[in-house]
Every structure is written in C-alpha cells, then in structure tokens.
Amino acid sequence: MVLALRQNGRLVGMAPFVIYAEPHASERKLFLLGTGVSDYLDVLFDRSAEAECLRAVIAHLEQQRHRWDRGELHQLPAHSPLRRAVLPEDWRAKFSPDEVCPVLVLPRRVEGLSRCVPSRQLETLQYYRRRLARRGSAQIELAGRKNFEELFAALLRLHRARWSAKKRPGMLSNEAVQRFHREAAWALLARGALRLHALRLDGATIAVLYGFVRGRRAWGYLGGFDPAFKTLSLGMLMVGHALEEAIREGVSEFDFLRGQEAYKYAWGAKDRPTYRCDFSSP
C-alpha cells in the first residue's frame, strides 16, 4: 500500500506501506516497506507540505482500516514526521525506543581525529597500515563509472567469502537482493552519493567498503574482506580510510548504522536512537 501524495498535481510525498500477514495467521500487520532489512525507515514529504501530507496519510489509513489489524512502524529517525502524527482518538498507540545506530561526530580536519577517536584505536590503525605496506603495493580506490561493475562484483564476492567463513549467508546472498543493490548503487553513483571503496594489494582486490554520503552525513553500510588476509585487520583499514575521506569532503558525522558491534564503539561512536510506533484500531 504505497501512497503518493499530490498537491495541485505536484508530487509532494510518498508513504511506502505494506500489509503483511504471517503464514497461517489471521492478523494483518501494517509496516513501512523495508522493515527488517533497513536501518532507517520513514515517509518522504516535501517540507512545504509536510503537515498536509501527514494528515492525508493518517486519514487514508483510517479510511482503509478494514484492511489491517495492527501497525508496527520500526526504525523511525528522531526527525520523522510520523512521530508528530495526531492519530484518531480510538486508536491504541504507543511510541517507544527501537534499535540504536552508533554515530561518530567528525572533526573539520583529519588531524583532529585524535579528539574524537580513542588514541589506542588510531595507534592500532597506523600499526596495521605499516603491516599492509610490508605485504606489498597497496592502494585504495573509489568506484566511478568505469570501475563500478568490477568493484561491485568484488563486493559481492568478498562479502560472500567473509560470511561463508562464519558459515552464514550474509546480506547479499539472495540474487534478487544483489540485483536491487546493483541498480540502486549505480543510481546513487550517478547522483554522487555512492562511496564504494576498494583496497588492492599487488593488484588484487582484497577488501571493499560500501557506503554513502549525502550533504554532511556519511553512512557505512556493508563490507567484504578476503579471509586469507584477516591478520591485516582489513575492516579497520577500510573504516579508517572512509572516515578520513569523509572529513576531506566536509562531512560532519559518520553513521555506522544499526547494531551495537564492538568495533563501532572502538572508533568512539555514540548511540543515536530510533523509535517505533505500535498502534491498533478497533
């Protein structure tokens, strides 16, 4: 149930809902499209029409409530318009904290990283950079139009290799998901938002970090690493490079996205909450 909102014929909003029923269950749940696999979920409204869009969406859900039994809206960012929604009086609704996304506030210059990243982490980063240099000729390149297909294929290969070593499938094991990411990543590259970093050692790609930049924010999404080089701490090397490049671009914060893995806090990241809204209608 994806809603398009228009004002005098102009598209001013999108609300991507989906109605889902568990197999062999009668309850129909209303989610935001992408629930379960996305780190942030929301509606998209033109700021000039936000209040009108919000009222229209709630009115439509009220009108269509014979189609759903319960709503579960997950991973809402703090600024989500849905957190300001005025719901019908007979709806039973509850807002509560959801998963956190660790975020690192960046300095204006690379030399200032020591003010926000623990010194031990930076010392360890330099140690592994020296180890990498002793192994051969190393360089990190960024995906562009000419090398996109090569580096995206390397991401799929190395992500699979990394998770296969843990006997788990990883996020990119499904062919449909791979097609989605290839299409989305190419479109984001065309808009200047993709940051696909690849580390080559003696010409062979051994690590890839998949992320994004928009305005003054950067996001680190997925990585792929060759298990044969695990002693080089490839994840640390790639994150360190991505942080420095983000600072050079004028980015003010690096979002590690959801999950409380220890390595994120080793960089000095602090939890940023997301929220959920559970509601039902008589």
For 224-281, write each residue's pLDDT tens digit: 999 999 999 999 999 999 999 999 999 999 999 999 999 999 999 999 999 999 999 7
Total domains present in the chain: 2
Tell me: do 121 and 87 sit in the same domain. no
Distance of CA 30 to the CA centre of its chain: 22
Looking at residue 259, its pLDDT comes to 92
CATH value at residue 192 = 3.40.630.30
Looking at residue 28, its pLDDT comes to 93
Domain assignment present for 264:
no
Do residues 274 and 103 lie in contact, with contact meaning Cβ atoms separated by under 8 Å?
Answer: no
Looking at residue 246, its pLDDT comes to 98
Q: What tokens does 238 get?
A: 């790639």
Q: List CB contacts of 96: < 8 A, sequence separation 6 or more.
A: 275, 276, 278
Q: What is the CA radius of gyration of the chain?
A: 21
Say what the pTM is: 0.91
- With tokens 């008589």, the residue in question is 282
Domain assignment present for 32:
yes
Structural domain of residue 23, as residue ranges? 2-100+272-280
